[in-house]
Amino acid sequence: MDHGITVTPRQRSLLRQLERAGRELSGQQLHRLLQENGEAMGLATVYRHLRQLQQQGRVRCRHLPSGEALYAPIELDRHHLTCVECGHSRELHACPIHEVELPSGERGGFRLLFHTLEFFGVCESCQRKDVSA
């Protein structure tokens, strides 16, 4: 996808680390990886650039029930089933809305960048705890 916006060297570094990880990372995990690889930048700078990359449609963000944000490159198209009690997430193998086209009238002038899909529920383990309590 041609985003028409220049990526800064720091943003390029963040994207490279996210792509290498091959999974979602929190801002703090990404910050630590950058330090380990000699590309240190401040935590606030990491979050600022992640936000800019998200606004450009290069990075997506998913929020866990705990409030923690996880980031991944757009190309890592993963969706989840998440327990609202323990926070455990299980990746879905397919996206049931991948081929759905949002009618232009519904977009209200939005330029679509990405989508996330997450179902919330109570996992089997937490259900068993509830029954035995």
The model's pTM is: 0.72
How confident is the model over 66-77, as pLDDT tens digits? 888 999 998 877
Residue 101 belongs to domain spanning? 9-132
- Residue 75 pLDDT: 83
For residue 1, pLDDT beyond 50:
no
Answer yes or no: is 52 within a domain.
yes
Residue 65 domain-assigned (yes or no): yes
Residue 28, domain member (yes or no): yes
Tell me, what DSSP letter sits at residue 102?
A: P
Q: Is 53 exposed, middle or buried (0-12, 13-18, 19+ CB in 10 A)?
A: buried
Total Cβ atoms within 10 A of residue 73: 19
**67-121 pLDDT tens trace:** 889 999 988 777 888 888 888 888 888 877 777 778 878 888 887 777 777 888 8
- CATH number at 38 reads 1.10.10.10
Q: Give the SS3 label for residue 16.
A: helix
Q: Which ranges of the chain does DSSP label H, i.e. alpha helix?
A: 9-21, 27-36, 43-55, 104-107, 124-132
The string of pLDDT tens digits covering residues 19-28 is 999 888 999 9
Domain annotation covers residue 108: yes
| Residue 1 domain-assigned (yes or no) | no
Is 2 domain-assigned?
A: no
Count of structural domains within the chain: 1
- 123 in a domain, yes or no? yes
The answer to whether residue 3 sits within a structural domain is no
